[in-house]
Amino acid sequence: MLVYSLKRFAQLFTTVLGVVTLVFFTMRMIPGDPISAIAGDNLSGEALDRMRSQMGLDAPLFVQYLNYLGHLATFDFGNTVTTKLPIIGLILGALPVTVSIAVGTIVLTVLISIPLGTLAAFTAHKGHRMLDNAITGVAMVLDLMPSFWTSLVCLLIFSLTLGWFPASGTVSIDDPAHLLRRIALPVLVLSMAQVATLARITRTSVLEVLSEDYVRTARSMGWSELRVLFRHALKNAALPIVTVIGLSFGNLLNGTVIVEFIFTLPGIGNLLVGGMNSRDYQMVQTLIVFYALIFVAINFATDLIYRVFDPRVQF
Amino acid sequence: MTSSGRSRLYAALLAATLLSPGAVVSASVAGAAEDKTLDVRFYDDPAGFDPANIFRIENENIAFNVFSGLTTYDGKTGAIVPDLAESWENKDNTTWTFHLRKGVQWQKGYGEFTAADVLYSYKRILDPATASPYIAELTGIETMEAPDPYTVVIKLKQPNGGFLHTVANYHQGQIVKKEAIEAAGDQVRWQPVGTGPYYLESIDVNSRIVLKRHKGYYKGPAPIETLDFHIIKDDATAAIALRNGEIDLLMRQNKEEQLQILKDAGFKMNHVDNYAATLKVMNLSDPILKDVRVRQAIAYAIDYPAITAAIAPSLQAPAYSIMMPWMEVFAKDAPRYEYDPEKAKQLLTEAGYPDGFTLKALNTSAQGVTEQQQFEIDYLSQVGIKMELELVDTPTYNQRRNKGEFMTATRLLPAINPDMILFSYLHPDNRSPKGLNGAQYDNPELTATIEAARAEADPEKRMELYAKAQTIAMTDLPYVPSTANNVYWPSKTNVTGVNINYLAQVNFWEVDE
Amino acid sequence: MAHFSIPLPARRTVSIDLSRFNGIVRLLANRRVQLALMILVPILLLTTFRSVLPIAGPLETNLRAMTKAPSLEHLFGTDRMGRDIFSRTLAGIQISMFVGFAVALLSLIVGLVVGTLAGFFGGAIDRVMMTITDIFLAFPSLLLAIGLVSVMGTGMLPVVLAISLSDVPRFIRLQRSMALSLRSRAYIDAARTVKASHLWLMTRHIVPNTIASLLVAASIAAANAILVEAGLSFLGLGIMPPAPSLGNLIRDGQSYLEQAWWISTLPGAVILLIAISLHFLSDGIRQVLDPRSRK
Amino acid sequence: MNLHVPIREPLLDVRDLHTHFVTDTGTVKAVNGVSLQIEAGERVAIVGESGSGKSAMAMSLLRLLAHPGKVVAGEINLEGHDLNRMSERQLNDIRGAKIGTIFQDPMSSLDPVMRIADQMVPPIMRHLRLRRDAARAEAISWLDRVGIPDPSRRIDAYPFEMSGGMRQRVMIAMALSCRPRLVIADEPTTALDVTIQAQIVELLKELTAETGAAMIFITHDLGLVARFAHKVGVMYAGRLAEFGPVGDIFARPQHPYTQSLLDTIPPVDQQERRRLAQIPGFPPDMKRPVTGCAFKDRCPGAHRHCFEEAPELAARGNDHVAACWLPEGLGADRTVERPLVEPLAPTGIPGDDRVAVEINNLHKHFTGRSALPWRKPPTVRAVNGISMRIRRGETLGIVGESGCGKSTVARLLLGLDPATSGDIFIDGIAQMVFQDPASSFNPKMTLSSIIQEPLIVTGWGTRLEREDRVRELLGQVGLDESYMHRYPSQLSGGQRQRVAIARALALKPSVVVADEPTSALDVSVRAQIINLLMDLKQQLRVSFVFISHDLLTVSYVADMIAVMYLGEVVEYGSADEVFHTPAHPYTQALIAAMPIPDPAAEAARVQTPLSGELPSPLSLPPGCSFASRCPKATDYCRSHKMVLKPYSATRETACHYAN
């Protein structure tokens, strides 16, 4: 376990450092800087140059990089470049929103797709393709609809016509009931895209397990088919399912941008796009570090869950 | 008293409010009895409200309600009206004396507003340490004095007939309080303190801005207690929020189709027309575009009336000048370019491009290729001009546009100070990358004309000079006007007083529900 | 569904004899492939010969026929600018299919080369490559897209690159794991006993045996790319209108859903059909390649 | 011995069982009319080659067939109740309770993510109606009975924490735990090493005798049948070809297929080394209807009648039935036709004393990655100091159980892995024939390019010359030229091994290393490959290293034998000597564990299987590596390392007590 933790730490360190370096230099290679981002239609070049030098954006790149690393090492994430807001506060404010969406999506996805996938696998195993095809087909159709389109359709149906969920309104974790109502639609939209993948993986791995020798062994001892399905198949099929859930959780954290935009949710996808559009180096860099941390953390969590499901996995 | 009688009285009081700022006390008191809240859509992440470093209309609109200037713009006519200065006089457009309103109270208990605050505010802009992009607006000041707490005397280096615009409630003209600025430190943009009708109570930069009524506002407290701005970026979502009743007032709806839906649903379509013109900037250092016939051909080739009617009859109208028709200085006789493809072809042939040429248009990718651009491509191709769009993201676009690295680009003219527009866009001193003259336009005749206009004390003569300048500009056509933009703030029917001024701003002191 | 609990009789090879004769024939005999082709072939034919069809050009505006519902004249109706949506859809398919194809190809090639090297050599090369793919996986794909569009401007190439960049690490990992398991196969050992070069082993033994699985992944990546392009278009990072990529068509019509549902719905349905066909195609390829996994 | 005194109705009475697999490409009639009766307490072996339907038949009894397998007709009467007419729910009360099942692969037959207890206890609770703790106690007692050490602790282990042998014991305990009347064992020892196999077979014998359970034992190993069964059923193409008491079947086989099968086994008696019998052709395609006898195409004695009508089982003696039109099948004197194998002098080619391979003090250690950088990494000494010489034209057989290092030696010889220390000298080049015919070839290459590959890589000849060489090689291994453009997947297992041999011979190597070349093959095909290797050895005078766990085959093929244990050679000498008069206790144990396809001989052998399992190669004992399992081991053995010492002129052994 100790060795494992050390390894993980080393992985975290290299990944984060790589990510930080990549993002630092990429951001500065991209044309446009924070000043040009705020230049609208009526600021002259002269005025902008004045601001640029005022903000010290003309220091040598390598010096800026080392400075940045130094700040990072002391967990000083700094302020946004133009609006001077503490970044850590912005991220911590936005994180709960995105995390609730991601968690909600995962929960809904799991609740829908694991039973569906299992059912599909079970019927397929017995040679009945009808239900299997229907489930796979519907999941695929859901998967393939662009989220910005389904978002609006959902808004029109559930918010405007049925009036079940608000389209706007402040989101705060202090008011969980309201939060739930606000994230319901985005969660629904995002789940649509996730269900197919997870149901497919569930189906494939359960199907694979169902043809394993030990399932036959269990059947030979008089276990009923359903019991075999729940006691053996699902547990054994869990590893790929957990992997996919872990991966999709990571993807969700940066895939919520569109729904955050349409459903006006102040999440970190929002921050990222905003930071990128305003060329707020500091903001983007810090967010990326967060993403990398989350990525590594999810890998770690996935490994831990592996261990719960599969005693063979050792650290 | 019957209810109809009461409402008639109320209406009368309201009318009085709008007409004369002095006689409002009773109406405001009536409003204050209820703690009304207005939920307003805000369409982007707020970027701060420090007048010295403020950008974008939505932020400016907040500042507009928090701060005051010596003058301000009338919401309906666009005319300059008194604000913190009750009255003023000027000598030769050079020495400006402002008589300040007495008893004006700062928000958040910062005491009474005096002439010292005016001097502090302007000096702050002029201080290089502030790094204000608006410094150039005030560099024309030679001296500033406050002979007494209610008088400010400003002496300019050169005559400037448009100086009242400079001190209006906009950017550099907004008056701040020294103590409040110093207390805020590096968070000035998030802690604005002014003398306007509303003060900033709280802000969550991710989702919400809350303004509260400034009880000590010199015109009396505003009718609405709380302005709750919700950040809703997507236009379609904003429309749904309005239709759901989640918001009362929708700050800017920029989608024609949503406007149609809201109009059909019976919402109140508050709007201002021709608030600004969109110009095609012709880079005159380009070997093709330096020929005036080519520029005129472009203007003749595109049928903007048809385009605007087709794609955005509400949001756009054709523009024929760099000045807006509602402006005092607007010259009706300046050349106009009506759609005439034959003439365009003829001009191109004369210029030596019978088969047309390729026009590279730099633009932002934020909206992709707009429908308007698609039509422009269509129209231009009919006279043989192949318009190619170079789409880059907004920061890159701004950077290249400011440096003058393009063949043609667009500018949206904020149309409030005609003198400033003419100088910024046509004066050779302001050629990019230094200034906004992206066309690199330098016509000594025009330069002499606008310089003379600025110095001219006689209003009639000034108007003549301005008219002459417009005629020259529209003949040389360094900027091809394309469309004039309209701004819509749809609201529930019970929301009144949404008067959008020509800076696309609403004075919330006038708004009630 | 063939899970034989009995070992296959030796003569089973005879039945494979015929079918193995030609992979294409076997593919064409697969029901899913047939279904996919039944959808894809007509669509591709229409797309290819759209210029001779009696329909308006995809960019042709018509102010007299704005926002018209589907009719015989305009099969999919027209949009706000009076453009024929059917024509735009056909043109959009061409663009979207190109994006899908380019993304699939790029991911395939990079994945193949890098994954083979990492999996075959293992050791330090592998660790470095895996760390790099980790970094890219930890990097939000959207950011890559924004960055690329900023550097390269909008257009086909940045879109293809942006989508590929998030696919490539997955392809590398897939290829690496396959190469890893193949490198200890007996036939590789057999070649190594005669001192075959690394290049020989990789090109003759590893790549031919993994390419099929990569193709399966690539056809899914292609379907996915079409959708991601649509999403990027929505954010203004995709292929720029008026170029009628399918994503642009849906985006254009999205806010007209209430007034003119056809503007986005019909092109959307076409995306669905194409993506589903690509999935069927990949399923079919997989089934044909691996008779055991006919699930 | 005589258990089949007909008392009452039989325990299991299967009548006209038909099982089909409906696939896209046709219906496989895997079981095509099988009838058989099993008495209580009887051990019945079902033998047959792959695809004969023996497993399908066994799985049909409890309807454990995977989709699309389906019992389409027949009665399966267990104690008078027809299982085939029962619902799934009723059948679940039979499964495990009345009939226990043991499967082939202990590695995959237990759920890897569940503790043994969780797999064993619930069925006991259900079938024996016991409470959890009682059921657990019952399970522990069964684990104890199958020889699991420390069962009350091991019951909470996961399968992966146990060796294959232990897992198969658990499997047996589980199958027997609800006291079934019948146990179906589907190749229960095929995946195990020979010494472990002997242990398991003895265990099964004991336990069924104790509980009085009858047993159906599916196997392809005739030796095991002889050792284990009371009765034998021989299956061919989904039908029983012959059924009868084991002694009778071995002594007087009546069906030509049974007769041929028995002839394919290398004889134990090395004095008369005859060419092995081969069964020509392939089994019929089970998707096509068969007219007449299914074996007719491969039967030397087939006549007209065989093509017209399928023979039914008919009595051939006491309890002995066979399905053949010929009264005695091919007859008792059928062996005479087979030629004697020309014996080679054990020293190789007469007059040629050159050495093809010389190995001196060879070591191969595999170093793992240590848990912590500063700790010593774990090291497996896979090959731990062996020295050998192979003369030109000589065949060296290397035997030993899995993990003894024999495959590592092969890889070292071929230069696939670098040796840790020691020298290998090869006069010429070495080539290899791999064990698994499925993974030996790149499935994407034609046979022509497969066989050409060594030639291309070494830059041999032009394309035409290479193709000529391919034809020549295909001819040498008995394949037609037309195979050149086929793909490996189009070949049968035997044909693939022929191609593997052709590829190995392409560069005219001085030594060919064959690592278990026949272990994945059916009995009849195995004989073909062995015959081919023997022919090639005589024609080409090439040296072979023949690696196998099958002592009988090695003793038939090899001139010299090296017996390996834990990375060391414990006995080395001429094949005859090592096989007939083993000196090292391990060799003796191996030979004792080896089943002999002769029921009479088996009955006469004293069955004391070698106890224990291979110690972990990570921590080798300090003294003799075999000491932990050796019945003769003393303290001296446990503390002193043994090295090969001459035992006779042609033999060396590494046992202190052998000398």
Q: pLDDT tens digits, residue range A197-210?
A: 888 888 888 888 88
Whether D520 has a pLDDT exceeding 90, the answer reads no
What is the distance between the alpha carbons of residues D58 and D17, in angstroms, rounded to a whole number? 11
Nearest beta carbon to residue C143 from set A140, A272, A296 = A272
Q: Give chain D's domain count.
A: 3
Q: Give chain A's domain count.
A: 1
The tokens for D70 are 């389906």
| DSSP classification of residue D276 | P
- What pLDDT score does C12 carry? 35
User: Which residue type occupies D105?
Assistant: D
Whether B2 has a pLDDT exceeding 60, the answer reads no
% residues pLDDT > 70 (chain B): 93
User: Pick from D99, C258, C259, C239: which is nearest to C249 by CA?
Assistant: C239
Whether C292 has a pLDDT exceeding 50, the answer reads no
Of D477, D509, D541, which marks where a domain is finished? D509
- What pLDDT score does D373 carry? 64
For residues B314 and D333, the model is more confident at B314
- Beta strands (DSSP E) in chain C are none
What residues of chain A, 110 to 139, have a C-beta less than 8 Å from chain D?
A: 125-127
Nearest beta carbon to residue C151 from set A30, A147, A253 = A30
Residue C295: pLDDT band (50, 70, 90) is very low
- Tens-place pLDDT, residues A11-63: 778 888 888 888 888 778 777 777 777 666 667 777 777 777 777 676 778 88
- Tens-place pLDDT, residues D407-463: 899 999 998 889 999 999 998 889 999 887 778 888 888 889 999 999 999 888 889
What is the distance between the alpha carbons of residues C46 and C90, in angstroms, rounded to a whole number? 7
Q: Could you tell me the sign of the dihedral formed by the alpha carbons of A150, A152, A154, A156, in that order? A: negative
What is the distance between the alpha carbons of residues D54 and D71, in angstroms, rounded to a whole number? 14
- What pLDDT score does C2 carry? 33
Residue D69: pLDDT band (50, 70, 90) is confident
What is the distance between the alpha carbons of residues A57 and A44, in angstroms, rounded to a whole number? 18
User: Among A88-102, B7-21, D41-55, whose mean pLDDT is lowest?
Assistant: B7-21
Nearest beta carbon to residue A94 from set B206, B244, B413 = B206
What is the distance between the alpha carbons of residues B277 and B330, in angstroms, rounded to a whole number? 13
Section D541-569 average pLDDT = 89
Q: Which long-range contacts (CB under 8 A, 24 or more apart) does C65-68 make?
A: C66/B310, C67/C256, C67/C259, C67/C260, C67/C263
- Flag whether D370 is in a domain: yes
CB contact (8 A) between residue A85 and residue B205 = yes
Same-domain pairing of D424 and D559: yes
Residue B98: pLDDT band (50, 70, 90) is very high
- Flag whether A82 is in a domain: no
CB contact (8 A) between residue A277 and residue B207 = no
Tell me, yes or no, if D68 comes closer than 8 A to chain A by beta carbon. yes
**CATH assignment of B273-486, among 3.60.150.10, 3.10.105.10, 3.10.20.600, 3.40.718.10:** 3.10.105.10
Chains B and D in direct contact, meaning 3 or more beta-carbon pairs closer than 8 angstroms:
no
User: Pick from D210, D213, D190, D212: which is nearest to D201 by CA?
Assistant: D190
Section D620-637 average pLDDT = 84
List CB contacts (< 8 A) between D68 and chain C.
Answer: 1-3
- Flag whether A257 is in a domain: yes
Of D509, D524, D541, which marks where a domain is finished? D509
User: Which residue type occupies D332?
Assistant: A
Same-domain pairing of D441 and D503: yes
Q: Record the pTM.
A: 0.79
Of D494, D509, D524, which marks where a domain is finished? D509
Looking up tokens 């043991």, which residue turns up? D102
- Flag whether D209 is in a domain: no
- Tens-place pLDDT, residues C173-221: 889 988 988 888 888 888 988 888 999 999 989 988 888 788 888 888 8
Whether B311 has a pLDDT exceeding 90, the answer reads no
Whether C8 has a pLDDT exceeding 50, the answer reads no
- What pLDDT score does C138 carry? 74
Same-domain pairing of D602 and D622: yes
What residues of chain C, 226 to 245, have a C-beta less than 8 Å from chain A?
A: 227, 230-231, 234-235
Same-domain pairing of D532 and D647: yes
- What pLDDT score does B29 carry? 42
**CATH assignment of B36-225+492-510, among 3.30.450.20, 3.20.20.70, 1.10.580.10, 3.90.76.10:** 3.90.76.10
- Flag whether A69 is in a domain: no
B64, B170 contact by CB (below 8 A): yes
Tell me, yes or no, if D371 comes closer than 8 A to chain A by beta carbon. yes
**CATH label of the domain that carries residue C280:** 1.10.3720.10
- What pLDDT score does C270 carry? 85
Q: What range does the domain containing C143 cover?
A: 29-49+76-290
Section C247-257 average pLDDT = 79
The tokens for A173 are 């974790």
- Tens-place pLDDT, residues A169-202: 777 777 788 888 888 999 998 898 888 888 888 8
Residue extent(s) of CATH 3.10.105.10 domains in chain B:
273-486
Mean pLDDT of chain C: 79
What is the distance between the alpha carbons of residues C78 and C86, in angstroms, rounded to a whole number? 8
Backbone angles phi, psi at B128, to 5 degrees: -55, -30
User: Pick from B79, B63, B62, B80: which is nearest to B71 by CA?
Assistant: B80
What is the distance between the alpha carbons of residues B274 and B415, in angstroms, rounded to a whole number? 9
CB contact (8 A) between residue D28 and residue C16 = no
Q: Give chain C's domain count.
A: 1
What is the distance between the alpha carbons of residues D179 and D183, in angstroms, rounded to a whole number? 9
Give, in order, the Cα–Cα distances in Å from D272 to each of D276, D340, D344.
11, 7, 12
Give, in order, the Cα–Cα distances in Å from C73 to each of A178, C86, C244, D78.
49, 10, 20, 74
List CB contacts (< 8 A) between D93 and chain A.
Answer: 222
Residue extent(s) of CATH 3.90.76.10 domains in chain B:
36-225+492-510
CB contact (8 A) between residue A277 and residue B394 = yes
- Flag whether C135 is in a domain: yes
- Flag whether D373 is in a domain: yes
- Tens-place pLDDT, residues A51-103: 777 776 767 788 888 888 888 888 888 888 777 888 888 888 888 888 888 88
Tell me, yes or no, if B246 comes closer than 8 A to chain A by beta carbon. yes
Nearest beta carbon to residue A264 from set B204, B237, B400 = B237
- Tens-place pLDDT, residues D573-604: 988 888 888 999 999 988 888 888 888 888 88
Mean pLDDT of chain D: 86
The tokens for A19 are 């990510």
List CB contacts (< 8 A) between D67 and chain A.
Answer: 125-127
Whether D320 has a pLDDT exceeding 50, the answer reads yes
Give the 3-state secondary structure of residue B200: strand
How are beta strands D26-38 and D12-23 bridged, if at all? antiparallel
Same-domain pairing of D574 and D598: yes
- Flag whether C152 is in a domain: yes
Same-domain pairing of D313 and D446: no
- Tens-place pLDDT, residues B206-215: 888 999 999 9
Residue D269: pLDDT band (50, 70, 90) is low
Section D508-522 average pLDDT = 88
User: Among A139-148, A218-227, C124-133, D38-47, whose mean pLDDT is lowest?
Assistant: A139-148
- Flag whether C67 is in a domain: no
Q: Which are the contacts of D349, defined by CB distance < 8 A and separation ≥ 6?
A: D391, D392, D393, D394, D541
| DSSP classification of residue A161 | I
Same-domain pairing of D522 and D497: no
What is the distance between the alpha carbons of residues D165 and C213, in angstroms, rounded to a whole number? 36
- Tens-place pLDDT, residues D85-99: 999 889 999 999 999
Tell me, yes or no, if D113 comes closer than 8 A to chain A by beta carbon. yes
The tokens for D288 are 């096509």
Q: What range does the domain containing D578 cover?
A: 355-428+510-653
D387, D564 contact by CB (below 8 A): no
Residue B6: pLDDT band (50, 70, 90) is very low
- Flag whether C2 is in a domain: no
Same-domain pairing of D421 and D446: no
Whether B66 has a pLDDT exceeding 90, the answer reads yes
- Tens-place pLDDT, residues D465-488: 999 999 999 998 888 888 888 888
A245, A110 contact by CB (below 8 A): yes
- What pLDDT score does D347 carry? 47
What is the distance between the alpha carbons of residues B488 and A118, in angstroms, rounded to a whole number? 53
- What pLDDT score does B31 carry? 43
C interface with B, Cβ–Cβ < 8 A, is 59, 61, 63, 66, 80-82, 146, 149-150, 153-154, 233, 236-237, 240-243, 248, 254-256, 258-259
Q: What range does the domain containing A226 cover?
A: 87-309
- Flag whether C196 is in a domain: yes
- Flag whether A11 is in a domain: no
